[in-house]
Structure formats: C-alpha cells, structure tokens
Amino acid sequence: LARPEVSFSMSLDRMVYDINGIPMLNARMTLRSTLPRQFPLVWPSGQRFDIVIRDERGAEVARWSDGQGFTQAFSTEKFGPGERNYTAQMALQDGRNKRLPAGKYVAEGYLATQGEQKPFLAGVGFEIIPEAEPAQP
C-alpha cells in the first residue's frame, strides 16, 4: 500500500436525481500520482475531459461535450507527482434537449488524451426517479 501509484476517480454530487425540472449532475474527476517522476499527458485538442451517460443497456444517451467547441491545439504537459481535479456540470438530458427518463444510469468520465484507448476512465452509477406525486388532502 505504500508503493507509488497512479489513479483516476470520479464522484457525483448525489446518487439519486429527481426528474422534476431539468436535473443537473455535478461531477468531479481526479487524477492522482505518487510516482516519483512526471509523465506526459498528450492532448489532441483543447478538450481535457468528457462525460458519457449510459442507460441500463449500456447505450450512450448523453455526452457532456455535445454542442461545445474546443480549440484544435495539440499540446503535451507533464503531470505528477500530485493531484488534479476536473469538474463539470451537465443537464440530464439527451442530444435533443429532452429530459432523461426515470431509470438507472452510469456516468463515465475520462480524460480526453490522445489515442483510442482511455487510460484514465472511471464510472459512477446513479438513478433518476420519477416525479413525486402530489400529496392528497
């Protein structure tokens, strides 16, 4: 347990969201390294991370980066040792701006580094519950 390591994690502000209004998901992704040396993070654009929401079948139903613009500047940065946090807020709605229905989902956050593989990927499950029924008099 005392050996150097690299980790990537994701956390959400809650586990259950109410479908009333347009629920907002707040996410934090954390890259942490206790390795004695820095390592490179290669970015093919100005985008540093993304979040994908998947339904119970594993189908992608929403993406944080949809409709956003990023610079097309290729860059490399050295990271570590230390910790870096990436935060995002996203409406729980699909690409057509329609609220996601009640159900169980997984939020997958990852760093948008170069390459097809996602070496820094983490997921968290959550649920959207139906509208609460009004109280009977």
Q: For residue 2, what are its two tokens?
A: 């005392």
Residue 79, H or E segment: strand 75-79
Provide mean pLDDT across the span 106-131: 91
pTM of the complete model: 0.90
Confidence class of residue 119 from pLDDT cuts 50, 70 and 90? confident
pLDDT tier, 1 (very low <50, low <70, confident <90, very high otherwise): low
- Side-chain-side CA neighbours of 17 within 13 Å: the count stands at 27
Q: What is the pLDDT of residues 35-80, one digit of tens each?
A: 999 999 999 999 999 999 999 999 999 999 998 899 999 999 999 9
The residue type found at 41 is L
Residue 80: predicted pLDDT: 95
Burial of 89 by CB count in 10 Å (0-12 exposed, 13-18 middle, 19+ buried)?
Answer: exposed
10 close to 29: Cβ distance less than 8 angstroms: yes
Closest CA to 10 of 105, 126, 122, 106: 122
Q: Are 80 and 37 within 8 A, CB to CB?
A: yes
pLDDT (0 to 100) of residue 135:
52
- Beta-bridge mates of residue 43: 75
Place of tokens 């992704």: 29
Alpha carbon 57 to its chain centroid, in Å, reads 18
